[in-house]
Amino acid sequence: MITLAQLLKIMPAASSTRAEIFLPYLNAAMDEFEIDTKERQAAFLAQIAHESGSLRYTREIADGSAY
């Protein structure tokens, strides 16, 4: 389980409002899928940060036509 302060250090570009909204869902997902080591948490949160633009986007931006 991570705290709001930890999440904001991991994703410094995220707004505190967005981080506070998503924090319980991130913690629930980590619990459900046994993301329970520092290495697994780091990989999961790095991927979330990258794919969401630090919690800015919740929908896919690309339509796949560039691939």
Q: What is the pLDDT of residue 51?
A: 93
Query: Which residues 6+ apart lie within 8 Å of 35 measured at CB?
Result: 29, 41, 44
Closest CA to 5 of 54, 16, 30: 16
pLDDT tens string, the chain, 67 residues long: the values are: 999 999 999 999 999 999 999 999 999 999 999 999 999 999 999 999 999 999 999 988 888 887 7
What is the model's pTM?
Answer: 0.88
Q: What is the pLDDT of residue 29?
A: 98
Q: What is the pLDDT of residue 33?
A: 98
